[in-house]
Structure 1
Amino acid sequence: MGLSSTTNINESTQICVFDLKRGQHEGQELDKILFFYPADCPFSTQLSVIGLSEGLITFTRIFSPDDACEVIEAEKHSHVFFEAEPDIWMVMIIEKNKEAEAIWRIDALKKVLNELHSLFVMFHGSIRAILDKDPGGGLVRIHLYSFIMDYLSDFLLGKKLQLPSFRDSLKERGTIQMLTVGREAAIGVQSLVRVVESSCAGNTPCNSLVLFQDLLVSTTLPPDDTVNLFTYAVLRLAPRALSSATSTWSYLRKGTTASQVATDPIFENAGSGIQASRDTSPSRQGQRHHVPRPLQQGKWSKGKDGFLSTDIWGTQVDNLGSVTPTVWLQQTEERVYVCVYQQKHLTIILLVPVSSIVNGEQGISIVKQQFLENASLKILKVEEKLTRGWGGENAYHVAGYRYLLSDSDRNISRASPPGKVTTLTKDSLLALNKLREEVDLEKSRTKHDDLRCEKDLEVCIRARNNAWVIARVTRGKELYMVLEKADETLLYASDAVEKFSIRYCDGAFSLD
């Protein structure tokens, strides 16, 4: 289960997934381990880490039985907890570092674990359901290992894991970035969506997402499913992701690729030490089950008909084409085919219920043919309109401001372009990161005090470099802002936020 001699694992970060229901008897402790990173850690170390985590979870429940443990700050490490499913925990342990570059915000790290689990469930279903199917645990281990390692490949800089740090304080993971369109373009998009969804067989209800560049234009899915599909589209399907074969999140600086991870000796041997007599080794499970790896980079390509294809889900028996991917929708609790069409900067994701397709891939081919016959002309027109109205990557830049606007009720955010954020000084970003931590704590207190009560909050800080760092929270909406080279008075900073709120937020953050 070891790494190759040339592999240098960054042991300052450990990530594990374990099941509290398993391994309750002496000699069976290893059974509870479902995933551990770095995978070459001795089993004694893995058991020690998970044993400590289990002890912290149990201990904190004495004082807070209704609320799961979220974070424990030790002298040398931060322990971030996420109960992904009942009794199934994901834990991230990060070594504290005095270097400013290694400053994290705990809530941002929790959202990494949340996103990882949400994407996993969308493709593979719940971890518990896989364990019920294969109680030995071998199948879930190979699923988790391949999926998480492909996910972490987006965070690798060389051999080092680069998790979101203070430099990413003007971003909000788990939200959607929308494209603002004019009335004429919006009408065109609505008409296109109706035609696209009519391509499904009979009266079968279909859903769709429409993206332009890396921005969402339209969705007929509920919020949680929209976030998951949007996140995956930006990571692997959007034109920029296809052209670079890498993620487009600005803070993800690439090093090791998914293809390198796939050939790592760990992938073939991960978990093989867990009582081979029970046949729990992922290598053995991999021989018996095809395990799709949807987060592998560079595995999608655009065909002559405009549809994207991939062999991640395997190929047809007659080898005439790839199997159409499927995902699980939370809201409707059904599995759907994912048909992705791309016209220049426009990406359309059509979701067809598996239950509505009788002939499998043949039925999907008919849907695609109807899609092209019905929607091709409208797609061209909509793409042209959106392109003409698109202001480029800096379209949502506001001169003099560096901001993040987030609506938690609708899972939507908008922020200053990454290129503009990089112009901020380290002092400004550190102050903003600290401010966001304080807001996170206050929101957590409010949540525990009264679920029906949402407090308004305003905080203004004068940073060491004389920049103003501001947060306003009201009615599920949050605004974070950095004003450098600003006037010294608090009145100036408050007035600047007021002007921004009135012009760009319909006055949502005005104090009147």
Structure 2
Amino acid sequence: MASMSSGDDESLRLCVFDLRRGQTEGQELDKILFFHPPDLHLSAQLSVTGLSEGLITFTRLFSPEAACEVIEAERHSHVFHEPEPDIWMVMVVEKNKDTGAIWRVDALRGMLKEVHSLFLMFHGSVRALLEKEPTGELTRSQLYPFIADYLSTFQKRSRSQDCCCDLFVGKQLLQLPNFRETTLSERGTVQMLTLSRDTALEVQSLVQVLDSCAENIRCHSMILFQDLLVSTTLSPDDTVSLFTFAVMRLTSPALSSDSSSWSYLRKRTGSTSAPIGSIESLHSGNSDNMHRDVIRPLQNDKWKKGKDGFLATDIWGLETSGSPDSAIPTIWLQQTQERVYLLAYQYKSLTLLLLLPTTAIVNGDISVPAVKQQVIEQASLRIMKMEEKISRGWGGENAYHVKGYRYLVVDNDLEVSRASPSGKVATLAKESLLALNKLREEVDLEKSRSKTQEKDLEICIRAKNNAWVIARVTRGKELYMALEKASDTLLDATDAVGRFSNRYCSGAFLMD
């Protein structure tokens, strides 16, 4: 890895490449679709991608049934993700730099999965872009600014913040998830708001009203309170992607410069820093044709609330035809394989997302202004009353705190998680957090070994400070917990987990 550290202080490399491309001598650069930092000299880029390709080939040769996920070199960790066949995303992070930074490999992999899911939602698959324009210039022109804008949300605004692993990328300081951020949180899941039965019925009624606003057109909707999910009619995968984007850019905390989200995206919202890199940084050229149609949906501070309650942005601009509909945000739904218009309406802490098939607008079945007017006329009063009702019953940041417990519950089937508030997690001793980090690494490893079958699992670790950290995995659900009462025996700790499971998880984690 010496070639990676030749005269520069970079601690992070992030690349996307296609194994099917660049196999002819002299054309190796053709395989690179994205590389960060973009101004790194080409020999270093080829060194990273070449080594990564070699590691992938080696792993497939000797362990073809296992995914190539992470390989430890002397100074660096290579985190791999294959989101599409032969399209690889690789993050190379220097280990234990200066401050002895520690991170969970699965959390870094979660970043790669997240950025790909977001890219897929806005631009479609990388493979489809390559088939549309085989030279790869279209794909690169979309990937470079998109991932640069994504990484900009990790820029550190204050050196006093001690929540993440600090990594220098050129002159920029990034915060990547470390053990403090990832032991009791789960990237790529949504956090649901718990509702009373009568409120849930009112939400269901509102969803039906929103659907009727599109007349006879089939549409989808999502409702959020603060940065918690209230309702969705989307598939789990589409829900996660849209939820992630909404919390980053659309919810009331994301739009307010004075507020910060309390969910797993807490340290990433509200950033006003300039994006790392730029479209002009592309190593493959700066032609106007390549950049003309580039849409940058992850740019900061581009959404504003209008007088009618709908959020507006100029990110999508106008096509050369000047059609007003071309300025309306669109996203791609994986479940239905269709492109839809994204309409966002906000009242105080409540954000409603309505998704209309673009084909319905193109065919003249309905117009976007007509749908907006219907929402204002038919649903605005319901929205006001619902926001007030939920606000009265909402317990704030500590609503999901359970006294005596620091916990994380994950439902992998529904892609939903619930955890102790970050402020409560921060009260854990460093020894407890490090033990939790080790525990989660062990669970991640065990899960990767038994991918073909679900396996019940329980792991208990006694931390150096005598705290108990416990993991239980069963039927697609996971529970992680830290108990810092030093006098507890293992029996006391497992009994406490059982009581928690009975009361808050419907007994899902009771072990026979």
Q: Same fold (TM over 0.5)?
A: yes
Counterpart contact for 1:178–1:215, Cα < 8 Å? yes
- SS of the residue 1:135 aligns to: coil
In structure 1, what is the Cα distance between the partners aligned to 2:265 and 2:212?
39
Structure 1 pair 199–443 and aligned structure 2 pair: CA distance change class (3 A) = same
Residue 301 of structure 1 and its aligned partner are, at CA, apart by 0.6
In structure 1, what is the Cα distance between the partners aligned to 2:293 and 2:472?
49
Residue 195 of structure 1 and its aligned partner are, at CA, apart by 0.4
Residue 499 of structure 1 and its aligned partner are, at CA, apart by 1.3
In structure 1, what is the Cα distance between the partners aligned to 2:219 and 2:438?
44
1:293 to 292, 296, 300: 296
Look up the equivalent residue of 1:307 and give its one-letter code: F
Q: TM-score, normalised by structure 2?
A: 0.91
2:275 to 252, 256, 261: 261
- SS of the residue 2:256 aligns to: helix
Q: Deviation string for 1:339-376 (max 9, x for gaps)? A: 00001111110000001113789811111111211111
Q: Deviation string for 1:424-470 (max 9, x for gaps)? A: 111111110000000111111121xxx2x322111111101111111
Counterpart contact for 1:402–1:481, Cα < 8 Å? yes
Aligned pair count reads: 489
Structure 1 pair 440–95 and aligned structure 2 pair: CA distance change class (3 A) = same
Look up the equivalent residue of 1:187 and give its one-letter code: L
Indicate the larger mover: 165-174 or 252-261: 252-261
Structure 1 pair 10–179 and aligned structure 2 pair: CA distance change class (3 A) = farther
Q: Does residue 1:177 correspond to 2:191, yes or no?
A: yes
Residue 149 of structure 1 and its aligned partner are, at CA, apart by 0.6
Q: Which residue of 2 aligns with 1:5?
A: none
Q: Does residue 1:186 correspond to 2:209, yes or no?
A: no
In structure 2, what is the Cα distance between the partners aligned to 1:157 and 1:376?
38
Q: Which residue of 2 aligns with 1:363?
A: 367
Q: Which residue of 1 aligns with 2:252?
A: 239
Counterpart contact for 1:469–1:481, Cα < 8 Å? yes
- SS of the residue 2:153 aligns to: helix
In structure 1, what is the Cα distance between the partners aligned to 2:138 and 2:304?
28
Structure 1 pair 19–318 and aligned structure 2 pair: CA distance change class (3 A) = closer
Q: Which residue of 2 aligns with 1:40?
A: 39
Q: Which residue of 2 aligns with 1:270?
A: 282
Look up the equivalent residue of 1:224 and give its one-letter code: D
- SS of the residue 2:221 aligns to: strand
Q: Deviation string for 1:188-241 (max 9, x for gaps)? A: 10000000011114x211000011111111111111001111111111111000
Q: Which residue of 1 aligns with 2:81?
A: 82
Q: Which residue of 1 aligns with 2:475?
A: 475
Counterpart contact for 1:235–1:247, Cα < 8 Å? no
Q: Which residue of 2 aligns with 1:104?
A: 103
In structure 1, list runs of 5 or more residues that go unmatched.
1-7, 273-280
Indicate the larger mover: 319-328 or 376-385: 319-328
1:414 to 413, 418, 424: 418
Indicate the larger mover: 292-301 or 95-104: 95-104
Q: Does residue 1:220 correspond to 2:233, yes or no?
A: yes
Residue 408 of structure 1 and its aligned partner are, at CA, apart by 0.5
Counterpart contact for 1:122–1:328, Cα < 8 Å? yes
Q: Which residue of 2 aligns with 1:276?
A: none
Q: Which residue of 2 aligns with 1:335?
A: 339
Q: CA RMSD in A?
A: 2.3
Q: Deviation string for 1:298-327 (max 9, x for gaps)? A: 110100000001011114766989811000
> How many percent of aligned residue pairs carry the same amino acid?
64
Structure 1 pair 82–397 and aligned structure 2 pair: CA distance change class (3 A) = same
In structure 2, what is the Cα distance between the partners aligned to 1:318 and 1:22?
37
Q: Does residue 1:457 correspond to 2:461, yes or no?
A: no
Residue 488 of structure 1 and its aligned partner are, at CA, apart by 3.5
In structure 1, what is the Cα distance between the partners aligned to 2:266 and 2:502?
33
- SS of the residue 1:162 aligns to: strand
Counterpart contact for 1:234–1:247, Cα < 8 Å? no
Structure 1 pair 337–321 and aligned structure 2 pair: CA distance change class (3 A) = closer
Structure 1 pair 127–502 and aligned structure 2 pair: CA distance change class (3 A) = same
Residue 269 of structure 1 and its aligned partner are, at CA, apart by 3.4
Indicate the larger mover: 203-212 or 486-495: 486-495
Counterpart contact for 2:17–2:32, Cα < 8 Å? yes
Indicate the larger mover: 26-35 or 345-354: 26-35
Counterpart contact for 1:343–1:383, Cα < 8 Å? yes
Q: Does residue 1:119 correspond to 2:130, yes or no?
A: no
Q: Does residue 1:205 correspond to 2:218, yes or no?
A: yes
Counterpart contact for 1:307–1:339, Cα < 8 Å? yes
Look up the equivalent residue of 2:334 and give its one-letter code: Q
- SS of the residue 2:369 aligns to: helix
